Structures are given as structure tokens and as C-alpha cells.
Amino acid sequence: MSSLSPLLDGYDLNGLRLPNRVVMAPMTRSRAPLQGRPTQMMAQYYAQRASAGLIITEATNVSPASAAFELTPGIITTEQIDGWRHITSQVHAAGGRIFMQLWHGGRVSSFALLGGEAPLSPSGVNDDLEQLQVWAQLQNGQYTKIHATPSRAMSLDEVKLTIDAFKQGAVNAIAAGFDGVEVHAANGYLPHQFLSSTTNTRDDRYGGSIANRANFLRDILTEIGSVVSLDRVGVRISPYAHYNNVRDADPDGTYDYVGKMLGEFGVAYLHAADTNGWSGAPDLPRIIERMRRAFPGTLMLNGGIAIDQADALIRDGHADLVAFARAYIANPDLVERIATHAPLASPKAVGWYGGDHTGYIDYPFDSSAGQAAQPGTAHA
């Protein structure tokens, strides 16, 4: 596909050939109602977007103690693995490449989502529950924020069991046909909680210094690397995010260390999210400066980035890949629209979280981009 857009240049991701540098970012959509098993509707959603250089799935629970949003999928049971295998086969049949994002919400949860159990966290910090983003579907079908409930500090055994859950999640994802996995260490979820000096006040090998606080992520990558080649394992971070109130006292120091550590591991990519960009306080220049210095590998950027801005980031060498989220909600043919300079559709006000096909798989393809519309279906 020829175009002046640098986003449409191919990219070699450690031997996985990407036809373009447009990544579909992970987006929670909460449409796995049957014990976290992915559905046929989810398969259609991802297959519609298979022209992306790379798809990263919605955050997927590696443990029953994980969920921050109700109706999110898992990668734990045989039924869940089978459901995901159906999705990867459809994406691959449509010519796509797909990584699974592995997720544990940690303290960002509620007993209501965890079978009555308290959420797990590094240190049981609960002074800010109203600022945590926990969501669920009401009986009337409306999806809404609910109140987080107090977490409890993890025992050392629970830390090790959770590390094992990430490892098993990676094994299960590869068994389900994924091309790789991404560890979700951003957005205030459990690995991010361990990295923060505010939410992690432990006095064992997982707390204290930056190096110790990074041991949780280090051990996750070490264990995953024993079963999956780390050049097929990405890591998502959000160094300055206010989302879920991590409150790191020294994010520059923390993420200089983390970037260097990820480079030493030789991970597939570092996915740096400028979460604050959505609230009008972008940190993208700061992220680029520090991560390009600390991390020598493939840098993927995300966070409210417009197409022309993404082109410039690629052209100027500030990014190797750019991930788009909201643009992919309403534009399943985003790559084709970029190639033909077609206007981008805007997401509907409904269907972002939970619900049926509306606002999920019913967005039309742009006819000028040579694609026929694909009406959504509601079967699961």
C-alpha cells in the first residue's frame, strides 16, 4: 500500500512483519457475559479491524481476583481459551496479527466483582477509593461506575501466585493462537501499583527502592520469558498517568529504571501511554524524551494522538508504532481511511462498555476506501 503517510510503512517487529505502523490499542468493551468467555460478536469486532498492523486485545483477566470492569474476558479456563482461539483464527484468516493484553486490576476493583472477596493490592492503601475506576452493568443493562471497596495487602505467597497467573496467562494466550502478549503495567493496575512509592509501602523484596518495587514486573517477565520468547512480549506503561491515582512520588526515576530494565529483557516493544492527554494535560514530549533515552527497542506511543501528529512522530523518529483507541471504535477500516484520506467517523455516545452490537460492530466501512459495509449481528 503506497502513500505519503509514514504510518503506512511496514515494520519488522522482531521477525513479525507488520504491513503498517497503525496499532489497534487495547480497549475494554465489556462484552463477555458468560463467565469471561469471548463471544462470536467479539470475533467479528476484531476481524473487522484486522488491517491494523497489530491488534492488541482488550485487557484480559489472568486471575479470578483481577476484574476492574464487569463482563471482561479471561484467559484462565479451557472455555475462555477456546473462545479466544476462535477470535485469533478469524483475525488471522482476515490477514491480521494479534497480541493479548494480560491484566490484573489489583486494588482497582470491588468485592461485588470478586465473589465477595476483597481486592488484592501491594499494601492495602485505601485512602482514595472514590478515585478508582471500577465499572459494572446494572440489572437494567446500563453500564456505570461503581464504588471501589477496600483492598488488602497481598501475602508473599499471593504475590508469587499472581506472578504465576501472568505466566500461565501467557501460556494460554499462545495456546489460543495469539502472536504474542502484552503485560499491562499501566493505568494504575496491579504492576503499576507495585511500581509506585505511594501504593507500594512493602518492606520485602517487592517494596522500598525503585529496584525492589520493579521486582514484581521483573519477575512477571522472567517467568513469562521461561515459556514465551520475550521478543513476542510487549509491556504497557503510563509513567505520568493520573488515572486510578497511582501517585508515584518520582515517576522520572521510576520509569528511567523501568525503561532500562525492559531494554535489558529485550521485550518486543515498550507501549507508552500518555493517559493524561485525554484530559488536556499531555505528557507526550516528556515520555518520548525519557523513553527514547532509557529504552533502545521498539517504542509504541498512545494517548489521544491525531493522524497527522502520528505521521510526524513516525517521520521524526520519535515513535516506531502508534496505537489508536477511540479512532478504532468508529473506524474498523482506519488503515484504509488513512490511505485514502477519507474522513474519520466519530464514536456513538452508546456502546462503549457493555451492551449488544450497537456501537460495537455496526460501524460501516467507508465505501471510498473500497470496503463494503459490514452490518453487525447480536448473536453471542
At position 287, the amino acid (one-letter code) is: I
**Residues written for the chain:** 380
Compute the CA torsion angle 115, 84, 223, 156 (nearest 10 deg).
0
Q: Which residue has the cell 466501512?
A: 365
CA-based nearest residue to 68, from 104, 17, 121, 35? 104
Catalytic-labelled residue, pool 46, 189, 243, 269:
189
Cα separation, 359 vs 45, whole angstroms: 11
Q: Dig out the grid coordinates for 267 from the structure.
A: 521485550
DSSP state of 204: S
Q: How many CB atoms lie within 10 A of CB 230?
A: 19
Considering only the C-alpha atoms of the chain, give the largest distance between any 2 of them, rounded to a whole number of Å: 60
Q: CA 177 to CA 318: how far, in whole Å?
A: 31
Strands (E), 120-268: 120-121, 134-137, 143-146, 152-153, 180-184, 233-237
371, amino acid identity = Q
Is 189 considered catalytic here? yes
Q: Provide the β-strand partners of residue 16.
A: 13
Q: What is the number of alpha carbons within 13 Å of residue 318 lying toward its C-beta?
A: 18
Distance CA 42, CA 39 (A): 5
In whole angstroms, give the CA distance from residue 352 to residue 321. 24
On whether the CB atoms of residues 114 and 74 are closer than 8 A, the answer is no
User: Which residues are the active-site residues?
Assistant: 189
